[in-house]
């Protein structure tokens, strides 16, 4: 058994024990990295210091588990599928539905959970803090406060945005954020090659405990409390762990279908986890599925952007997330990427990739407006910020080998009021919606 502190939250960590699948992550390690952009993605974070003791074993777990079969979608479901599938056709027009179908099942389940809760009309957030089995209200309140600190440390812009939300929503988002960040910590950084699949299995068991109301430490307790108050399903959390498993065994993606699944696992899942907490505007006329699809699209867009920004950095770790078949089509080899020279071929390839990432952002925008009014600002802020990274790649003349595309402080400051102004826009009425078609 190992004792570890997460900031000022003291937590005995025995979920990964002495059998060689041991992982520890201390507060200083957890806080080493800072990010000011948004919820954590799981790739290319530098300087993580995980302590692990056994080289990686070779188990692949690429699927989405039992939820991956889609049988006979309804007409409404089919229309959602069509929207997404239009985004996942490759340049030759081939449609790539397999990963998408897997993901769609999860989206449909999330949407039905939220609808169920709305039908019941119960406000889970009215439950008194700490009235569950999670410990005293004071402890829980401390745990949530700690989650807030972690979120503020890593995702400043997003954290600022969450300040507009109701206190219940705010702390629930922080708890989800912290779980994602801790999950990411397991497999990222300099010790990534030493994490084992068994360690991830244990993290998953611990996740099941969180959802059973048996949290292991205070930060887990915050999430346990959150999932008892909001209709948050476990599947996206499991799928995120699957994304970590993918990263253990995979350093190339044959096509966009494979990349899409990866992006869903590590980032689209965050969108799905967030919607039940952020809430949908009571005046929204949109279907619940369409809002979830937009949330998914935002996660995918963010992750694609992350990948495009970090091509050079990933290449130095001998990783290429870009679809191999698309690289080949543009006459680009892995060696070209490792050499890191910006050529016309590269520019043409990048233009195509950026175009696709922007399509996902556009798809996401349609959903932001449908969110509860207090939740729109942080989402607009992170969407605008992340989308500007694509502009920065262009401004760098597509040199994402040696130049890091970033959004400067002044621009960041300007985007906050811009995001606020967009957040004031209410969901379109059904009339407006029809006139747009
Ligand atoms: C659009 C609707 C309806 C809802 C919003 C639903 C949400 C919150 C979606 C966001 C999903 C999200 C933030 C995924 C994470 C993606 C990502 C690549 C984050 C980057 O995180 P870091 O790795 O910390 O960033 P940097 O590498 O830029 O520091």
> What pLDDT shows up at residue 157?
77
> What pLDDT shows up at residue 101?
84
The answer to whether 195 and 186 are in contact (CB under 8 A) is: yes
Say whether pLDDT at 77 is over 70: no
Confidence bin at 118 (pLDDT 50/70/90): confident
Say whether pLDDT at 22 is over 70: no
Say whether pLDDT at 315 is over 60: yes
Residue nearest to atom 17 of ligand 1 (CA): 41
Say whether pLDDT at 18 is over 70: no
Query: What tokens were used for 53?
Result: 């003791």
Residue 117: how many other CB atoms lie within 10 Å: 15
> For the whole model, what pTM was predicted?
0.79
Please choose, from the candidates 9, 30, 31, the residue with its C-alpha nearest in 3D space to the C-alpha of residue 142: 9
> What pLDDT shows up at residue 161?
80
Shortest-distance atom of ligand 1 to CA 364: 1
Q: State what percent of residues in the chain have pLDDT above 90.
A: 59
Ligand 1 close to Cβ of residue 296 (< 6 A): no
> What pLDDT shows up at residue 190?
60
Ligand 1 close to Cβ of residue 114 (< 6 A): no
Instruction: Supply the ipTM of this predicted assembly.
Output: 0.95
d(CA 349, CA 26): 41
Domain that holds residue 27: 2-436
Ligand 1 close to Cβ of residue 303 (< 6 A): yes
Residue nearest to atom 4 of ligand 1 (CA): 295
Handedness of CA 98, 99, 102, 108 (dihedral sign): negative
Q: State what percent of residues in the chain have pLDDT above 70.
A: 71
d(CA 249, CA 417): 42
> What pLDDT shows up at residue 429?
80
Residue nearest to atom 8 of ligand 1 (CA): 271
> What pLDDT shows up at residue 334?
98
Say whether pLDDT at 29 is over 60: no
Confidence bin at 117 (pLDDT 50/70/90): confident
Say whether pLDDT at 298 is over 80: yes
Pocket-testing residue among 38, 103, 275, 313, ligand 1, by greatest number of atoms within 8 A of Cβ: 38
Ligand 1 close to Cβ of residue 299 (< 6 A): yes
Longest dimension (CA), the chain: 63
Q: Compute φ and ψ for 127, nearest 5 degrees.
A: -60, 135
Q: How many domains does the chain have?
A: 1
Average pLDDT over residues 196-211: 95
**3-state SS string for the chain:** CEEEEECCEEEEECCCCCCCCCEECCHHHHCCCCCCCCCCCCCCCCCCCCEECCCCCCCCCCCCHHHHCCCCCCHHHHHHHHHHHHHCECCCCCECCHHHHHHHHHHHHHHHHHHHHHHHCCCHHHCCCCCCCCCCHHHHHHHHHHHHHHHHHHCHHHHHHHCCCCHHHHHHHHHHHHHHHHHHHHHCCCCHHHCCHHHHHHHHHHHHHHHCCCCCCHHHHHHHHHHHHCCCCCHHHHHHHHHHHHHHHCCEECCHHHHHHHHHHHHHHHHHHHHHHHCECCCCCCCHHHHHHHHHHHHHHHHHHHHHHCHHHHHHCCCEEEEHHHHHHCCCCHHHHHHCCCCHHHHHHHHHHHHHHHHHHHHHHHHHCCECHHHHHHHHHHHHHHHHHHHHHHHCCCCCCCCCCCCCHHHHHHHHHHHHHHHCCCCCCHHHHHHHC
Confidence bin at 119 (pLDDT 50/70/90): confident
The residues, ordered by sequence, that sit 6+ positions from 93 with a Cβ below 8 Å of its Cβ are none
> What pLDDT shows up at residue 116?
83
Average pLDDT over residues 53-72: 24
CATH number reported for the structural domain that contains residue 353 in this entry = 1.10.600.10
Pocket-testing residue among 83, 150, 271, ligand 1, by greatest number of atoms within 8 A of Cβ: 271
Confidence bin at 82 (pLDDT 50/70/90): very low
Ligand 1 close to Cβ of residue 271 (< 6 A): yes
Confidence bin at 76 (pLDDT 50/70/90): very low
Pocket-testing residue among 277, 299, 308, ligand 1, by greatest number of atoms within 8 A of Cβ: 299
Pocket-testing residue among 298, 366, 383, ligand 1, by greatest number of atoms within 8 A of Cβ: 298
Centroid of ligand 1 to alpha carbon of 26 (angstroms): 24
Say whether pLDDT at 33 is over 80: no
Say whether pLDDT at 310 is over 80: yes
Confidence bin at 21 (pLDDT 50/70/90): very low
Residue nearest to atom 7 of ligand 1 (CA): 271
> What pLDDT shows up at residue 15?
30
Average pLDDT, the chain: 78
Residue 68 or residue 239, greater confidence: 239
> What pLDDT shows up at residue 43?
57
Average pLDDT over residues 6-32: 29
Centroid of ligand 1 to alpha carbon of 256 (angstroms): 20
Ligand 1 close to Cβ of residue 189 (< 6 A): no
Say whether pLDDT at 419 is over 80: yes
d(CA 53, CA 226): 33
Region of residue 427 (phi > 0: left; psi between -120 and 50: alpha; otherwise: beta): beta
> What pLDDT shows up at residue 30?
28
Average pLDDT over residues 332-338: 98
Say whether pLDDT at 67 is over 70: no
Say whether pLDDT at 362 is over 50: yes
Confidence bin at 170 (pLDDT 50/70/90): very high
Residue nearest to atom 21 of ligand 1 (CA): 40
Pairing verdict, β 320-323 and 2-6: unpaired
């Amino acid at each position: 058994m190992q004792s570890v502190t997460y900031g000022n939250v003291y937590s005995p960590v025995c979920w990964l024990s002495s059998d060689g699948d041991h992982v520890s992550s201390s507060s200083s390690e957890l806080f080493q990295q800072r990010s000011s952009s948004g919820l954590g993605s799981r790739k290319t974070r530098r300087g993580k210091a995980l302590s692990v003791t056994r080289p990686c074993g070779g188990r692949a777990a690429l699927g989405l588990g039992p939820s991956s079969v889609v049988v006979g979608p309804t007409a409404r479901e089919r229309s959602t599928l069509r929207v997404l599938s239009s985004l996942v056709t490759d340049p030759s027009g081939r449609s790539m539905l397999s990963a998408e179908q897997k993901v769609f099942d999860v989206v449909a389940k999330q949407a039905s959970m939220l609808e169920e809760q709305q039908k019941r009309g119960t406000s889970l957030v009215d439950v008194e803090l700490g009235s569950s089995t999670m410990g005293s209200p004071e402890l829980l309140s401390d745990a949530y406060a700690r989650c807030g600190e972690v979120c503020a440390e890593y995702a400043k812009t997003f954290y600022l945005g969450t300040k507009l939300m109701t206190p219940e929503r705010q702390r629930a988002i922080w708890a989800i954020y912290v779980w994602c960040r801790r999950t990411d910590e397991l497999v990222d950084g300099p010790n990534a090659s030493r994490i084992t699949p068994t360690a991830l299995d244990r993290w998953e068991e611990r996740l099941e405990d969180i959802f059973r109301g048996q949290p292991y430490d205070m930060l887990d307790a915050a999430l346990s409390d959150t999932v008892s108050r909001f209709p948050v399903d476990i599947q996206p959390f499991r799928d995120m762990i699957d994304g970590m498993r993918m990263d253990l065994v995979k350093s190339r993606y044959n096509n966009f279908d494979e990349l899409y699944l990866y992006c869903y696992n590590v980032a689209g899942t965050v969108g799905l986890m967030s919607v039940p907490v952020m809430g949908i505007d009571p005046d929204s006329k949109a279907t619940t599925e369409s809002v979830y699809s937009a949330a998914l699209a935002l996660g995918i867009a963010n992750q694609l952007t992350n990948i495009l920004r970090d091509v050079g950095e990933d290449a130095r770790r001998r990783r290429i997330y870009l679809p191999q078949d698309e690289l080949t089509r543009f006459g680009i080899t892995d060696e070209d990427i490792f050499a890191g020279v910006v050529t016309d071929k590269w520019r043409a390839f990048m233009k195509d990739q950026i175009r696709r990432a922007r399509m996902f952002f556009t798809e996401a925008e349609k959903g932001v407006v449908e969110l509860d009014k207090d939740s729109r600002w942080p989402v607009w802020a992170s969407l605008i910020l992340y989308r500007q990274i694509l502009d920065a790649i262009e401004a760098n003349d597509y040199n994402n080998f040696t130049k890091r595309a970033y959004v400067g402080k002044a621009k960041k400051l300007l985007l906050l009021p811009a995001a606020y102004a967009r957040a004031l826009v209410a969901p379109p009425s059904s009339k407006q919606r029809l006139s747009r078609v």
